[in-house]
Amino acid sequence: MLEISIPPLETPKMNFRRFIIPAAISAGLIAAAAVGVTQAVAHHAFAAEFDGKSPVLLRGKVVKVEWINPHAWVHVMNTNPEFAQVEWMVEGGTPNTLLRSGIDRNSLKIGTEIVVRGYQSKDKACTPICKANGRDVTFPDGRKLFMGSSGTGAPKDGADKSEMP
């Protein structure tokens, strides 16, 4: 006797699995891609915010340090009369980059006197706060460490040893 197997008709449950699950997976992949694009856009190039033709030399005490990604921020109360004698927000590299260059929470304590060489933001009006991209920081003991961004359009000024020929 010959047996013929006839597949059962699809039930609504099978349709759900065939169409809804791939749609959910696709939506998840699209959402993951959107998050990646948002993070990439958030990390700006040097030239988008800072002026490589406007160097600054800030002297003063550290008043606040923000160890956040994608860039750490060091707040310095500037006393150098050549530039606005107010609090400056100085952008550094990523917290990981700063740690590898020797800058950590213990070296940048509140009240530490430092000298920061860098470049002013394109907003020269300092509204709502003065901002700069720090290239290097000099500590009271004379140590000078690289703290800036590189490879993002920042000037090749010798602060970043990886840029040397």
Q: Are strands 50-66 and 130-138 parallel, antiparallel or unpaired?
A: unpaired
How confident is the prediction along the chain (165 residues), in pLDDT tens digits per residue? Answer: 667 766 666 555 556 566 677 777 776 667 666 554 444 444 567 788 899 899 999 999 999 999 998 889 999 999 999 999 999 999 998 898 888 888 888 888 999 999 999 999 998 888 889 999 999 999 999 999 988 765 566 666 666 666 554
87 vs 16, 131, 147, 153, CA distance in Å?
60, 9, 18, 25
Residues 122 and 50 reside in one and the same domain: yes
Q: Does residue 5 form part of some domain?
A: no
Q: Would residue 153 count as lying in a domain?
A: yes
HSE, CB side, 13 Å, CA atoms: give it for residue 49. 17
Same domain, 130 and 116: yes
Q: Which helix (H) or strand (E) holds 73?
A: strand 73-78
Tell me the per-residue pLDDT of 21-33, one tens digit each, with 9 for 90 and over: 777 777 666 766 6
Asked, for residue 6, whether it belongs to a domain, the answer is no
One domain, residues 100 and 139:
yes
Cα gap 113→23, rounded to integer Å: 57
Does residue 117 sit in the same domain as residue 101?
A: yes
Full domain range(s) for residue 55? 46-163
pTM check: above 0.85? no
Same-domain pairing of 51 and 111: yes
| Residue 139: inside a domain | yes
CATH code for position 52: 2.40.50.140
Using one digit for the tens of pLDDT, what is the confidence trace for 102-124? Answer: 888 888 899 999 999 999 999 88
Q: Are residues 56 and 82 in the same domain?
A: yes
Phi and psi at residue 15, to the nearest 5°: -60, -40
Q: Both 27 and 63 in a single domain?
A: no
Domain count, the chain: 2
